Structure formats: C-alpha cells, structure tokens
Amino acid sequence: MRLSHRGVIAGLIAFSVGMAVVSMEGCKNPDSGKTGGATAGGEAAVRPKTTATGNAVTGNEIPVGEFASLTGSTATFGQGTHNGIQLAIDEANAAGGVNGKKIVLKTEDDASKPEQAQTVVTKLCTEDKVVAVLGEVASTRSMRGGSVCQKYGVPMITPSSTNPKVTETGDCVFRVCFTDDFQAAVAAHFAFDQGFRNVAIFKDIKNDYSMGYAKNFTDEFTKLGGKVTGEQTYQQDDTDFKAQLNSLKAQNPQAVLVPGYYSEVGTIARQAKDVGLNVPLIGGDGWDSPQLIPGAGTALEGCFFTDHYFSVDLRNPDTKKFIDAFKARYGANPDALSALGYDAARLLVDALKRAKTLDGPGIREAIASTKDFPGVTGKTTIDANGNARKSALVFQIKGNSFKVFKTYTPEQIGK
C-alpha cells in the first residue's frame, strides 16, 4: 500500500513546513527592535491620547492593580518587583493610606508570557476596577499591558521596562526608570572609556529589549569612534551558543556585548569560556538577578553590566531606610528591581495624594506632573513623554557579587 506511505510522508512534510515557519518567526521581530531604537535620536514621539476615563474610587478602598512575572522564565524579576511594591503599599497604609482611604493591591501573575499579561491587565481594568496599574519588568509585556491600560484609560506605571517604545504606547503609560537608549549609551561610553575599540555583539533576536539595546549601543559606540566587529543572534530558550560564539571569536573582539536576560547569560558566559573567548562580557539591567551566578558559575568573573542607580553599597540616608525595612521583612537585600518597584508604588501613592479627582484623568495628571520625587533610585521627574531621567551604574562581577564600578549621569552621556 504505497499510497498510505506517501500519505504519512506528505503529513510529515506539512508538519515540518509548519515547524520551519514557527522557527523563523523570530526573524520578524528585528523590525520591532528597530522601531524601538528609532526614537533614540531625541525628537519627542507623539503619544496617543486616551479618551477613556478609567475607573474611579467608589468605596473607602483604593484598588491598585499589579501584573508581574511571579512564575516563568523571568520569575525572579517579577518576585523582586512584587516584594518592593508590596512593601511600599503596606508602608503607605500603615501611615494612614491616602486621605484616610486604604490602598488594596491586587496582584496578577502573567507567567512571563506577553499574551497572559494582556489577559490579566484586562481583568484588572474591567473586573477588579483598579484605578491604576503597576507593572512589568519585561518591555514586551509592559507594552501589551500598556495598550490595555491605554484602551481603558487606566494610568499605568512600569517600574523597570526600559524599551523607549513602552511609554510611546500612550499618555496613560509612565515609567520610573531610564530608557534603553540611555542605558545603551552608558554601555557604549563605558566600553570606550575602558579602552575597548573593537566590540562584538551577541543579542537575543526574540527580545525587544535586547534588540533595541544592541542597536542603540552600536549607534553611540560608532559615533564615539569604536567599531562593532561582528553581530550574532540567539533566541530565548536556546541552549547551545558555541557555534555563534566561535564565529564572534574569529574577529578578535576586545569585549562582547550580551544585552540579554540572566536566564541565558550564564550559559553564554560558560560557553564563551569553553570556546576560548576570554574577553569581558558587557550587559544591561537584564543581568541583575540572584540567579545569574548559579547559572554562570565563575564564568562571569570580571564582567560588567549597566544597571539602575541602586545598590546596597550606596548607603546614602534615602536608601538606607528602604534597605533596612526590606531586609527586616524579606530576610534578603533588595535588588534594583525591588527598589524600582518600591519607587513606582511610592510615586503612585504620592500622585494619589495629589490627585484632584481619584479617577483616570485625575490620577494621570498627578503622575505626569511629578517633579523631583525623592526615590530610593534617585530623584525622579516625569517628562512630557512619561519617562524618568536618572543616572546609571556600571557593576562589575567580582567573587560572586556585584560591585559598583562606575556611575554615569545623563549629563555625562549628553542625553
């Protein structure tokens, strides 16, 4: 029965074509990465305005929503941020809440999936009737959540999504951290200051953050006079990077930029050592996780990454109180994401207190008019595009911990 044999093969071919299409899906994403970097030039993008009025406070409680990756591939991001937000909300309630009204935090897990972020934010806006949303670390997920908030007119503050496109979603979306064009420019200046002139790039093609970071780094680094010797890509959940690293090694770079997430960086660092690529790796805030070192072993010793202006080593009085409170409650030192979560929630509480009306437009205006808010990650002023201007740190990994190596202010970078 030759026919049925053919049938099976035809089926297999159809299946393979399907899988090939799925595998190639990743190459669609560079476009989104590029548009992310396109606004890096400085001209203000026009943010769409919302016409929806959001949700208003009705009872004696103020419902505030949070969406976070409590599980999934970037679970430590979501958990760290959630701890910071919870601490800030509890402190605010203990201090009397907002004009006598208690804040109730409703947290939803998006399992590190963009589709799920969209679903849970819709639930928060329509069923839980939250007046504002805090959330997400990953830019891809913040954009999904942001577009939902924009649709319903509910103001949203992202603690740590750095892709410029996030706040371009609309006038309901704000952030309390710097953007990738700034962070990548810091990395470029830093690499140049360290004397690196030839740098290779290894980026995650499925990740908007990684693609945007790589593009902005290339722009700034070439402007300074450096040269990007080669570029290779990987995809989130890949496990073997040696072939790409080996081809990068052939161009003898002085350093390799790996703007990815901690989940892959550790393996990449180990395999870089395996292929004999013994140059420092440079990364961004996506490296900042307690899981980075278990994944990397000693392979990241001496490497650098740019991060938000927060470290337990910078014990100025502003941050000291926060660090002590955090440590007393969770038994561990806060990381930058916890600190940004804490700042985002406190900035929201501050805005709620200043808001003329406790509904969508009122809270939105209050957040937009924030000036010199004293955060634990530096003074925060929200600009016309919903972004915050802040300094950045460069950390070096030394003996299994992160040491502050250098500080860059926006003025130093010329942004």
Among 32, 35, 39, 73, binds another protein (CB under 8 A): 73
275 binds another protein (CB under 8 A): yes
Cβ atoms within 10 Å of 127's Cβ, excluding its own: 9
Where does 176-329 show beta strands of DSSP type E?
A: 198-204, 227-234, 255-257, 281-283, 304-308
Asked if residue 65 lies in contact with residue 128, where contact means CB atoms within 8 angstroms, the answer is: yes
12 binds another protein (CB under 8 A): yes
Cβ atoms within 10 Å of 111's Cβ, excluding its own: 16
Among 115, 243, 290, 356, binds another protein (CB under 8 A): 243
271 binds another protein (CB under 8 A): yes
Binding flags for another protein, 83-112, as an x/- string (CB under 8 A): ----------------------------xx
Asked if residue 134 lies in contact with residue 157, where contact means CB atoms within 8 angstroms, the answer is: yes
CB nearer to another protein: give 210 or 319.
Answer: 210
List of residues 6+ apart from 164 with CB closer than 8 A? 36, 37, 39, 40, 45, 179, 180, 181, 212, 387
Q: Which residues of 56-81 are buried (b: 16+ CB within 10 A; e: fewer)?
A: ebeeeebbbbbbbbbebbbbbbbbbb
Of 198, 201, 234, nearest in space to 215 by CA: 201
Least distance from another protein to the Cβ atom of residue 82, Å: 14
Asked if residue 267 lies in contact with residue 279, where contact means CB atoms within 8 angstroms, the answer is: no
* Window 21 to 50, contacts with another protein (CB under 8 A): 23-24, 26-27
Q: What's the CA gap between 333 and 327, in Å, rounded? A: 5
CB nearer to another protein: give 10 or 44.
Answer: 10
Among 267, 396, 407, 409, binds another protein (CB under 8 A): 267
* Window 296 to 355, contacts with another protein (CB under 8 A): 297-298
List of residues 6+ apart from 401 with CB closer than 8 A? none
Q: Which two tokens stand for residue 214?
A: 């790589």
266 binds another protein (CB under 8 A): yes
CB nearer to another protein: give 16 or 222.
Answer: 16
Least distance from another protein to the Cβ atom of residue 17, Å: 7
233 binds another protein (CB under 8 A): yes
Among 244, 306, 387, 391, binds another protein (CB under 8 A): 244
CB nearer to another protein: give 232 or 407.
Answer: 232
247 binds another protein (CB under 8 A): yes
Q: Look at strands 281-283 and 304-308 and give their pairing.
A: parallel
Give the binding-site size for another protein (rule: CB under 8 A).
52
Enumerate binding residues for another protein (CB under 8 A). 1-2, 4-6, 9, 12-13, 16-17, 19-20, 23-24, 26-27, 71-73, 75-76, 111-112, 205, 232-235, 237, 239-240, 242-244, 246-247, 250, 263-264, 266-267, 270-271, 273-276, 291, 294-295, 297-298
